[in-house]
């Protein structure tokens, strides 16, 4: 159990939606308590990923669902709390991480008969690096549901602290630990 009072936290893209969608009373209670204390902090990269998702969905669905998706997109923008920019400090940290970890630690995702392309996997990996760099610069613990990517980044920072002067460690909290 992570006390919401220890926040604010930076939320990775999938962690943010996981919290909002959870039907577990303990998770819902945790999120409600957190929101009374702090805004949801996300990277501008999360907004990018989310808005790209809504845009792709809008281009793929039948007309009758477009209103629902546009409404959901607007609701997301209304909910946004603190959005951290990709500034020079984040860019510098991310550049070091990309140089240290040029390739994603796991292969592209698969589900049913569809898979992520290598290009998409690499883009998602670099987005994760930018999110981790934001957490490091903002000195916020990162709430995530993607240990494969973020643990690799955390380890790289630990192994090469000289490349991240006055920063770190990267504090990671898995979503499953929040309320359980």
Partner 1 sequence: MNTMHATSQTTAKRRTTLTLPSESLAAAERIARARKVNLSTVIAEVINDGLRARRATERSGQVLKSYRQAFSRFTDAEMRLLDGVIMDEPLDR
Site residues for partner 1 per CB under 8 A: 13-14, 17, 19-21, 31-32, 35-37, 39-40, 49-50, 52-54, 56-57, 68, 71-73, 75-76, 78-79, 81, 108-111, 113-117, 120, 124, 127
Smallest distance from the beta carbon of 96 to partner 1, in angstroms?
23
Q: Work out how close the CB of 130 gets to partner 1 at its nearest, in angstroms, rounded to a whole number.
A: 12
Minimum CB distance to partner 1, residue 53 (Å): 4
Decide if 76 contacts 50 (C-beta within 8 A).
Answer: yes
For 120-142, letters b (16+ CB in 10 Å) and e give ebeebbbbbbbbbbbbbbbebbb
Q: CA angle at residue 103 from 101 to 107, to 5 degrees?
A: 135
Q: How far is the CB of 91 from partner 1 (least distance, A)?
A: 20
- HSE of 102 in the Cβ direction (CA atoms, 13 Å)? 1
Quick one: 22 or 168, whose CB is closer to partner 1?
Answer: 22
* DSSP-assigned beta bridge partners for residue 143: 11, 173
Between CA 156 and CA 128 the distance in angstroms is: 14
- Closest to partner 1 by CB, 86 vs 167, is 86
| Cβ nearer to partner 1, comparing 55 with 91 | 55
DSSP 39: P
> With respect to partner 1, which residue has the nearer C-beta, 50 or 154?
50
């Amino acid at each position: 159990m992570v006390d919401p009072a220890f926040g604010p936290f930076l939320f990775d893209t999938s962690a943010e939606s996981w919290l909002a969608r959870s039907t577990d009373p303990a998770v819902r209670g945790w999120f409600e308590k957190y929101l009374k204390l702090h805004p949801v902090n996300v990277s501008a990269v999360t907004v990018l990923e989310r808005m790209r998702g809504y845009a792709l969905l809008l281009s793929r669905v039948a007309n009758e669902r477009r209103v629902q998706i546009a409404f959901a997109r607007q609701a997301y923008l209304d909910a946004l709390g603190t959005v951290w920019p990709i500034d020079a400090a984040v860019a510098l940290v991310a550049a070091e991480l990309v140089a240290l970890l040029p390739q994603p630690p796991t292969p592209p995702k698969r589900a049913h008969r569809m898979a992520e392309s290598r290009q998409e996997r690499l883009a998602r990996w670099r987005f994760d690096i930018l999110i981790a760099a934001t957490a490091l610069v903002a000195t916020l613990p990162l709430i995530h549901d993607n240990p494969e990517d973020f643990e690799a980044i955390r380890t790289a920072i630990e192994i090469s602290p000289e490349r991240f002067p006055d920063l770190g460690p990267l504090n990671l909290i898995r979503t499953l630990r929040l309320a359980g």
